[in-house]
Amino acid sequence: MPAPTTLSYLVVAALLFAIGAFGVMARRNPLIMFMCIELMLNAVNLSFVALARELTDIGGQSIVFFVLVVAAAEVVVGLGIIVSVMRNRSSLTADDLAELKG
């Protein structure tokens, strides 16, 4: 089996991103949607690392650290919102939260 090339990493990243995007659009459970967003973020992280190695540029890897930190912060806020909304309502889908519609 040949050693994986940069291209194969990028293909995997693209697949992960597409799965995540599909999940965000297709699922109604906010928690699942949230996990799908994480998947998309990590797909991007993977492509960053692969390209950093290909181009021997440390910049790509350092961006990944930023993404990880921001994603962690985002998880804290997002999960907090989702948990408190769930406490107030018995059942919940993302479509029920339409108070801000025009």
Partner 1 sequence: MTDLAWLVPALPLAGALLLVVFGTRIGEPRAGWLATLATASSFVVTFLVYLDLLGMPSEERLHVVRLFSWIPVGSLQVDLAFLADPLSITMALFVTGIGSLIHLYAIGYMHGDPKFSKFFLYLNLFVFSMLALVLGENLLVTFLGWEGVGACSYFLISFWHTRESAAVAGKKAFVTNRIGDWGVMTAMFVAFSAVGSVSYKTINEAAHEGSMSQTAISAIAILLFVGACGKSAQLPLYFWLPDAMEGPTPVSALIHAATMVTAGVFLMTRVGPVLAASYGWVPDTIAVVGAATALFAATIAVAQHDIKRVLAYSTVSQLGFMFLSIGSGAYVAAIFHMVTHAFFKALLFLGSGSVIHGMHHEQDMRKMGALRATMPVTALTFIIGWLAIAGVPPFAGFWSKDEILLYVYADNRLLYAVGMVTALLTAYYMTRQVILVFFGKARWHDASSEHGAHGDFTPHESPRVMLVPLVVLAALSGVGGFIQLPFSKDLHFLEHWLAPAVEESERSINGTWAYDNKYVLLGVAVIVAVAGIALSVAVYGKRRLPAVEPKLLENAWFYDASVAKVVGGPGAAAFRGVAAFDARVVDGAVNGAGAMARGLGGIVRRAQTGFVRAYAALIAFGAIALLAWFVWRGWLA
Residues that bind partner 1 (CB under 8 A): 21, 24-26, 28, 33, 94-95, 97-102
| Minimal distance, residue 89 CB to partner 1, in Å | 15
Q: Are 34 and 79 in contact (CB under 8 A)?
A: yes
Nearer to partner 1 by Cβ, of 3 and 25: the residue is 25
Task: Tell me the closest approach of the beta carbon of residue 54 to partner 1, in angstroms.
Answer: 20
The residue (of 62 and 93) whose beta carbon lies closer to partner 1 is 93
- Are 73 and 44 spatial neighbours (Cβ–Cβ below 8 Å)? no
Backbone angles phi, psi at 60, to 5 degrees: -60, -45
Classify residue 20 by burial, with Cβ atoms within 10 Å: 0-12, 13-18, 19+.
buried
Residue with smaller CB distance to partner 1, 28 or 53: 28
What's 95's DSSP letter? Answer: G
CA distance 22 to 35: 12
CB of 17 vs partner 1, minimal distance in Å = 10
Distance of closest approach, residue 25 Cβ to partner 1, in angstroms = 5
